[in-house]
Structure 1
């Protein structure tokens, strides 16, 4: 492979380009009119504008991307995450045009992209499932009958869903119809598919995912787990590896289950199998993400493996040269997604111009970003500015390094999730590992964050005042 196109933008585009450059592979960036001056455009060897700012006129137009590939004689396409990365039709279009898709085959994307099809694919492998039904439901009366069998609370969930859309928790029979109608409506508008299914709602779950890699020679490996339980609106904000609750035995069982899920759909490339783990450490298959995850850096740091490099090698038909027994967990890594969102205002997007943007540097600190000082934050895309990742020998070390790195991160011009990240890392529940997916609901309020920042400002003012008075005591002899 001599030249690859990255069908994405921002930090993930630069992340893929860095590995390609290291491997001696030329890179092509595509960009919308809003991203004309973005760092990923300058970082690439070649760059072509593919349309207007809205993603449905640029980054989501597969045919335009194929045209660029043909014009510039591109060998492969890396989709990153988001946009077209889990679009089976796009993967098929790439395959049909004799371009290498650096990811799974379209069949696997399609199978795992539909939660009901995914459940059907893995049922022969004896993988634990959340109690419920594995078919689409449209009648609220039927949903009530199922709920009575499995017990309330239940979760009504979009079959084609993701990112918390088309999802409703129902605790009482009287609310089933209304919540079902809402889930169907939301799923239809978000995914063009209103199919929903019903399953038991696990009340205090941990969200644990397993990174896998599979080649075309039959080898499937797992690269341990990531803990992704700190979320807002069902979307991850803080991730870490390894998880503080997994025993070696449970890690082995979940790793094998993830490998089996990959085998069930003849998986190829990097993927992630997501599980819910209840308070008794029972685990249940949730879904498979058929792409590189936002949080892949924490796995890279604890395993010492460049996952993007492995993706490219696998796409070229190479066999994975690592064996499962070669893989060991070394140290601990934590990632904070630095979103341009206001944690004091329900995490609403906070767009503006980055008048100051200075990421932290130092041993054990990694920043994957696609922004720089003076840039405007576009309103058209996901508001993530960067990923701040810290790595230490122990979990405690990684947490402290994260707190210090957040303090050193200078951003002005937009509100960000940096103060929220610090709140999480300083919270007793997180530090002790005793938390679940309800961390935000249970422990966080904007008032708590405000109070904490006011207390710190007060302490800083008192220290400054003390220093001032100390300074006044020093005898100064006037110069003649």
Structure 2
């Protein structure tokens, strides 16, 4: 199967070439070999990072990647690790990656589905170094990848979100400000010489607190103590429990992901330790780190569904869903495609065999999927999504709640590729079309030619797809 099927006789299609691309691949795992294979097929040049840990501890796991390289001395770049164990090491590693790109004339960088792929600061520094980041741009990553900002955008679009509080850091600062927040905030601005937008005081006190915290992160100063954050979290949790007795509550750092940086609590005396664990796991205990996290009801007996999105900054298209409900230790084990075609076909089969109850359940699932897909596409358009992302939801009976957006390719993206392909049509000739069967190829295509591409059509390939994982536990 070709990742992109071009007609060599089409001048329009021939304009989409990739021989100008030299891409440094900075991810690890199966996505690295997949990307190398696709880039080679498309005629793009590439190299890869190789950490000392991969080289020494796991030499055999990289055999497929290393065998695929024609010039290992030029295409493999050694680093101690991928992002460093501390904030200082992380900064050094980013600088090292940028230097590697410049020294070896890399024009592009691909970060796969590792944490670097969703790091707005990393993406911004790559962009500022005149290296093209293959994925959503840094502004999209910042707005959608930060869970609090994503929920704010979702609310503005009337997207259903999980009940809770997503501004605990700002509430903590506002509580500390006391009865005269304006006066207190002005003192902080002068004391720390914070740089703020011209009209930062035009909003309400909570919005002002958010602006101050953003400025403090840039300045690398703290405006409250972790103990004060813990105390305010206790108050917020107690309020949420009074309104929702018997429910568990989840704390989730705004920059967390993959099951990291979150804790579920069942009692008030667990709050302080949970807050500290969330911050430590998210590497957010340092001075000036973003210490905000979400406080949400832990919706029980749910299904974890997600919608695949693709956009070019102007249009956005949804590619159906995936059910990732079977998990262990917050890590997905089984991913199954969710498509309207599959649910409709299965409902019709049940109807034909007289199983009306099962048919009705599947038709309800199809309605839920349609609603999630509609909200996901609207979110992507509002975000000006310019690559791939995943709109994640939790489903409880016939209701669904927006959870977060992952601004990167997902491990389970192949499940979607089994279900759908994309067809692009020449705006000047409806007979002139090409198809894309790979989301990684679509990412590079959009990165290089995004604004020239018309909105594609989604074509069904197979009724469903499934992927199983073997996870280290």
Q: TM-score range by the shorter chain?
A: 0.5 to 0.7
Q: Deviations over 1:357-416 (max 9, x none)?
A: xxxxxxxxxxxxxxxxxxxxxxxxxxxxxxxxxxxxxxxxxxxxxxxxxxxxxxxxxxxx
User: Does the 8 Å CA contact 2:418/2:461 hold for their aligned counterparts?
Assistant: no
Unaligned runs of 5+ in 2: 1-19, 170-228, 285-289, 344-361, 422-436
SS of the aligned residue for 1:258 comes to: helix
Counterpart in 1 of 2:335? 239
Q: How much has 1:199 moved relative to structure 2?
A: 2.1
- Tell me how far apart the structure 1 counterparts of residues 140 and 248 of structure 2 sit (CA, whole Å): 28
Distance 1:134 1:54, change over 3 A: closer
Q: What pairs up with 1:349-368 in 2 under 5 angstroms?
A: none
Q: How much has 1:54 moved relative to structure 2?
A: 7.1
- Tell me how far apart the structure 2 counterparts of residues 203 and 86 of structure 1 sit (CA, whole Å): 28
- Tell me how far apart the structure 2 counterparts of residues 28 and 18 of structure 1 sit (CA, whole Å): 12
Q: How much has 1:26 moved relative to structure 2?
A: 1.1
- Report whether the alignment pairs 1:100 with 2:132: yes
- Tell me how far apart the structure 1 counterparts of residues 47 and 99 of structure 2 sit (CA, whole Å): 13
Match of 2:106 among 74, 99, 107: 74
Counterpart in 1 of 2:259? 164
Counterpart in 2 of 1:179? 270
- Report whether the alignment pairs 1:142 with 2:236: yes
Distance 1:284 1:50, change over 3 A: same
Counterpart in 2 of 1:152? 246
- Tell me how far apart the structure 1 counterparts of residues 76 and 239 of structure 2 sit (CA, whole Å): 55
SS of the aligned residue for 1:160 comes to: strand
Distance 1:59 1:314, change over 3 A: farther
Distance 1:25 1:54, change over 3 A: closer
Q: How much has 1:313 moved relative to structure 2?
A: 0.7
User: Does the 8 Å CA contact 1:32/1:59 hold for their aligned counterparts?
Assistant: no
- Report whether the alignment pairs 1:120 with 2:145: no
- Tell me how far apart the structure 1 counterparts of residues 115 and 296 of structure 2 sit (CA, whole Å): 28
Greater RCO structure (CA 8 Å; 6+ sep) = 2
Q: How much has 1:51 moved relative to structure 2?
A: 1.9
Q: What pairs up with 1:347-386 in 2 under 5 angstroms?
A: 347=473
Unaligned runs of 5+ in 1: 342-346, 348-480
Counterpart in 2 of 1:91? 123
Match of 1:296 among 395, 413, 434: 413
User: Does the 8 Å CA contact 2:39/2:46 hold for their aligned counterparts?
Assistant: yes
Counterpart in 1 of 2:386? 268
Distance 1:81 1:55, change over 3 A: same
Q: Deviations over 1:250-286 (max 9, x none)?
A: 322211111122233222101101000002x211000
Distance 1:271 1:302, change over 3 A: same
Match of 1:226 among 316, 322, 326: 322
- Tell me how far apart the structure 1 counterparts of residues 154 and 416 of structure 2 sit (CA, whole Å): 25
- Tell me how far apart the structure 2 counterparts of residues 15 and 166 of structure 1 sit (CA, whole Å): 28
Distance 1:274 1:333, change over 3 A: same
Distance 1:288 1:43, change over 3 A: same
In terms of mean alpha carbon deviation, does 287-296 or 300-309 score higher? 300-309
- Tell me how far apart the structure 2 counterparts of residues 170 and 9 of structure 1 sit (CA, whole Å): 33
Q: How much has 1:287 moved relative to structure 2?
A: 0.1
- Tell me how far apart the structure 2 counterparts of residues 163 and 152 of structure 1 sit (CA, whole Å): 27
Counterpart in 1 of 2:456? 323
User: Does the 8 Å CA contact 1:152/1:200 hold for their aligned counterparts?
Assistant: no
Q: How much has 1:240 moved relative to structure 2?
A: 1.1
Match of 2:54 among 29, 35, 49: 35
Q: How much has 1:180 moved relative to structure 2?
A: 1.7
TM-score w.r.t. the length of structure 1 is: 0.65
Distance 1:20 1:252, change over 3 A: same
Matched pairs, number = 334
Counterpart in 2 of 1:337? 469
Q: How much has 1:9 moved relative to structure 2?
A: 2.1
User: Does the 8 Å CA contact 1:183/1:196 hold for their aligned counterparts?
Assistant: no
User: Does the 8 Å CA contact 1:31/1:59 hold for their aligned counterparts?
Assistant: no
- Tell me how far apart the structure 2 counterparts of residues 19 and 118 of structure 1 sit (CA, whole Å): 31
Distance 1:126 1:179, change over 3 A: same
Distance 1:265 1:44, change over 3 A: farther
- Report whether the alignment pairs 1:252 with 2:370: yes
User: Does the 8 Å CA contact 2:148/2:293 hold for their aligned counterparts?
Assistant: no
User: Does the 8 Å CA contact 1:10/1:40 hold for their aligned counterparts?
Assistant: no
- Tell me how far apart the structure 2 counterparts of residues 74 and 109 of structure 1 sit (CA, whole Å): 22
- Tell me how far apart the structure 2 counterparts of residues 152 and 312 of structure 1 sit (CA, whole Å): 48
- The RMSD of aligned alpha carbons is 2.3
SS of the aligned residue for 2:307 comes to: strand
Counterpart in 1 of 2:441? 309
Q: How much has 1:225 moved relative to structure 2?
A: 0.3
- Tell me how far apart the structure 1 counterparts of residues 259 and 44 of structure 2 sit (CA, whole Å): 37
Q: How much has 1:69 moved relative to structure 2?
A: 1.2
